[in-house]
Structure 1
Amino acid sequence: MEQDYDGTVYPDAEPASRFAGVPDGFARLWTPHRIAYIERGAASSDGCVFCTAPTLSDEEALIVHRGRSAYALLNLFPYNSGHLLVVPYRHIATYDEASADEVAEIGEITQTAMRVVRRTSRSDGFNIGMNQGAIAGAGIAAHLHQHVVPRWAADANFFPIIAQTKALPRLLGEVREEIAAGWPSAV
């Protein structure tokens, strides 16, 4: 006996669970770019992911810009396409530990990131912020990082509310290439 989503009962039907590909109540979204994060781990075996990222190639680490004391890379778990993180190279946890040079460059990179993302993706606005400490929502609390999240007038839909799924229309590698190519040579 099988029951449909609207409650209709089919006494002679085989259970749907016996067939491959039948929905099982889980929302699935194809995200091949995340395999690098899974294989490497949120914090690599070498330690901090933000300390390890600069030792990798720009493509592998999704870095779009390297500065003197800070760099910008794509977030592996983006809220929207083009979600960047601005990170000091030095392993510090909070904003008040940053030197004046680090604060200045984080600000410069953030401003440039906004200009580049606005130009390359025509975003309508941005959410910018830092979560300081695990209690404040920092996923990686041990290493300071600032979020630069592009927003569009129509970027909200029912997925996050109903299906607890965020649809991202572009692969991270494509977004990284576009933003890196749009970054000015001298900041």
Structure 2
Amino acid sequence: MSNEQGIARFSNPAPLGLAGFALTTWLLSMINAGWFTGDAMNMVLAVAMAYGGTAQMIAGVMELPRGNTFGATAFVSYGAFWWSFALFVLFLHDKVPAAFVGWYLFMWGVFTFYMWIGTLRGVRAVQLIFLALWITFFLLAAGEWTGMGRLHVAGGYVGLITALLAFYVSAAEIINEAHKREVLPVGTPRAA
């Protein structure tokens, strides 16, 4: 696609990446919140590999020619998270101590925390996604470390909020672009 000056214009991959992240996060968070048992995990794994993992990776690679370091880093990283999660559950779940799983989740929380700091001059809705996500990771890590089921459930509920926020921003990106105006507000970025 090109614009009026004949310069290549790349499509916005964010709605794809956000939707892949949101759907997969929603499904896993329903289990973490206790709405479903681990028997539902196979569907999460399928979606984690196909949509949460692969679609986000594609979105991240699509961010590169747009010069969006943040988007590329976020989508490729969380795509890799979903692939690593699926591989862990499928092949290693019974072979890794809970404390180490806690460190895995905690370090994803650390990554998400500094990514959140990177959003603070951007769109407010994206800030909220990353805020809710680092809280989710830290709650789930604390649940693994302490064995307190309530922390795990709390992480599940904050994960559901994270997924809803990501779905909202994905929808806003699609709908606002289609209507060529802001139909769904996402909050304006802070002035430099």
Could you say which structure has the larger radius of gyration? 1
Kindly indicate which of the two structures has a greater share of residues assigned to strand: 1
TM-score, L = length of structure 2: 0.29
